[in-house]
Chain A
Amino acid sequence: MVLGLSLALTGLCLVVVVWAVVKIVTRQPVLLTRRGDQVLLGVLALVELGLVVQAVVGFVLGAQQQIPNLLTFGVYLVGVLLILPVGTFWALADRSRGGAGVLVVACVTVPAMVLRMHQVYAGG
């Protein structure tokens, strides 16, 4: 697996977590009309793009090498792609600071899944 990509994606997710926590503390909803939140969504889109790249790389590696838990690995590669789109949709539909809380959940889940993916890839 490409460690650099995973670390970069984890870093971006943590930036979103910090941003979202600030919004929770200051009691602001996530709104598409705000400039800052548009940048936030841009970052989320970038992470999603990175996750797609990771899935492609993962499947190529899976086809080339013998991975002990190939099925589990594949499910993680595809499953992690669902988190941000669904999470963002659920967050934006809320008009309270709950929306920012949803983004925290999503952006903690993604690095956790990426970590598990690496463990599975390594044979764990």
Chain B
Amino acid sequence: MDHKSPMLNDLFGIPWLDFNLSTSLMTIVSAVIVFFICFFATRNLQMKPKGFQNFMEWIVDFVRGIVSDTMDWKTGKVFLPLGLTLLVYIFISNMLGIMTVVVVDDYLWWKSPTSDAVVTLTLSATIVVLTHYYGVKVKGVKEYVKDYFRPVPFIFPFKIIEEFTNTMTLGLRLFGNIFAKEILLSLIIKLAFVATPVTFLAVIPMMAWQGFGLFIGAIQAFIFTMLTMVYMSHKVSSDH
């Protein structure tokens, strides 16, 4: 990718406060889009659902299925909003980069926020921190600490490493998929601008890859939500 990122370094003169403006912008844009979609979809709720309410309830049921697959529903109930938000937010984020890519003066402004590793790793770190928080909250400090020494004490170092690998794999899986998708998209776009006759030919791989990108985006959103619930269940369920 020869696109540059619009950087804003050292905001307010604080040395570590760097912004990739496009990432920040897209993060906020997708959050706003998700909020408005979900907000307007859940106005005017009816006892007999119709139209978009049906779709939203389908999503709720879907995530409820994920949650109750990984842990028992009584403890998993509180994670339903988290799972729903993750699924919708990541899905919308992935979609944003498929529809359009906006490049201004060689600076890449519009992309999927999830094609930036900072975003995905921040999300996965947030999730892992949340799993620890809920682990302590649901089982108590004693049980939470004891869990590091189960089933045998020497597993403790591996359990510590696992927390970091979980964070890395969860974030990098999403990032890798979406980043690869966007790279190939931009390559196809570049191909299209090589010569005029190729422009129309490039439409075919473009559409195919966009379709595949749609698939990847949906699958990755699902996998991220699923794994979140799996990690959560490791921490809050007592049978593990």
Determine if chain A interacts with chain B: no
